[in-house]
Amino acid sequence: MKYLTKGKYLGSTNDKLELEGNLMMITSYWNCPDSDWHYHENSFFTFVLNGGCQEIRKGHTHETRPGDLLYFEKGIIHKNSNYTEYSRNFNLELSDKWLTDYDIQFQTGPADFALRKCDFKFLFIRLHDEFLNQDSASAVSMNNILLQIMGNKIHEISSGTPSWVPKIKEFLYDNWAANFSLKELAAVLDVHPVTISKNFTRYFGCTLGEFIRKYRIEKALYMIRTTHLHLTDIAFTCGFADQSHFIRTFKKYTGTLPLHYRKI
């Protein structure tokens, strides 16, 4: 079984940057063959910029696509297949010493390696932008973003969570572009609107409105990178009233503009 040491990936890497022992780099997979089972020396994140592949772990498979963010804990055995032509990833490889120095622990379950929380993805877009446009303040800025990433909570739904919480999460994921009132949402869930209003932030780490807007922007990440649709069409498809509102919201959460993100 192949063991990949620090900075080594199946594709070709370029534009490497080391920051306090952590590595950031762009990895390209031009005509990359299917891999055998392998594992890595260090834990790392992969943000998919272009293309994608089939990520396979024991008992779990995920089809990656642009805008996806995956976490690989060191030593996790996995393999990749069916690379899309011109696949390209932004990788962040973590140093054990850096994790120890900052007293950081970050773990996901076996089936949760593809991180769905929008905030993680938005922070990676900000990190990637700093990576591409470095100046004298970039080192401190990137380390600040890294600590935000590692300090971000994965809001898990436990056995003691009220039944309406997983129901509302599923409803919002399934109806992300729809417009509905709080009263209509409460009726679907058979719960009082006040219950949602008082407790949503507790379980999701943000307000209901923020959750909806963030998820719509996350959906837009894929559309911007994989289609030639005008931003107005993407805005309407993602449930925004107009292009200007979409652009403002995109900039608020990702730190960049949709057209800039399309060009990376």
- Annotated domain spans of the chain: 2-151, 164-263
> Closest by alpha carbon to 220, among 240, 236, 234, 241?
234
Tokens found for residue 253: 């959460």
Predicted confidence at residue 155, as pLDDT, reads 58
Alpha helices by DSSP H, 152-205:
164-174, 182-189, 193-204
pLDDT tens digit sequence for 38-81? 999 999 999 999 999 999 998 889 999 999 999 999 999 999 99
> Closest by alpha carbon to 48, among 3, 80, 8?
80
Phi and psi (nearest 5°) for 94?
A: -100, 135
pLDDT tens digit sequence for 76-128? 999 999 998 889 999 999 999 999 999 988 877 666 688 888 999 999 999 99
Q: Are 54 and 84 in contact (CB under 8 A)?
A: no
Residue 170: pLDDT band (50, 70, 90) is very high
Q: Is the pLDDT of residue 250 over 70?
A: yes
Residue 159: pLDDT band (50, 70, 90) is low
> Is the torsion defined by CA of 232, 233, 235, 241 positive or negative?
positive
Give residue 64's region: left, alpha or beta (phi > 0; psi -120 to 50): beta
Predicted confidence at residue 205, as pLDDT, reads 85
Domain range 2-151, CATH architecture: Sandwich (2.60)
pTM for this predicted structure: 0.89
If you classify domain 164-263 with CATH, what class do you get?
mainly alpha
Q: Is the pLDDT of residue 154 over 80?
A: no
